[in-house]
Amino acid sequence: MRLRVGPFDTSLHVRSRDHHRAICREAALLDLPPDSPPRRWESAVGRFYARLQLGPVTEVVDHAFEAGEPAFAADVTVPDEQVPAALEACLELDNLLGDLGRWARESDADVLSLPQDVHAYYAAFVAQARTQLEAGGVRS
């Protein structure tokens, strides 16, 4: 199944990637347990990228960013047998996104906030993938 990722704002994708990495660093520095929202988010994003085989998206984004392109789009192929697991990963991230935002606001640890534009980008990225997976992918 072929999925289209984008078009999305290149700079916002890079900011969201930096934000994700910062969450992972802070979770490690705070030695948070595996069941904490930041650790669950870290694991879920890893599963999402693996199940949807999004490695090529990173390359496209990096190229677009270096070239100063305002938007990027990429096609990825998800093996048919991975579609149920990919949908599961989308639903998991949908659920965790709210948990992560609440945790960041309510935690007494000095952790990163979840900026609204990054939150919206995460939600849009996952929603786009989920919609296409449910519909059977992009038609040529």
Please give the DSSP secondary-structure letter assigned to residue 136: T
- For the chain, what is the mean pLDDT? 91
- What's residue 104's pLDDT? 81
State the Cα–Cα distance between residues 38 and 20, nearest whole angstrom. Answer: 9
Average pLDDT value for residue range 69-82: 96
Per residue in 32-43, pLDDT (tens digit) is 999 999 999 999
Domain ranges (residues) in the chain: 2-135
The whole model's pTM is what? Answer: 0.90
Among left, alpha and beta (phi > 0; psi -120 to 50; other), residue 109 is beta
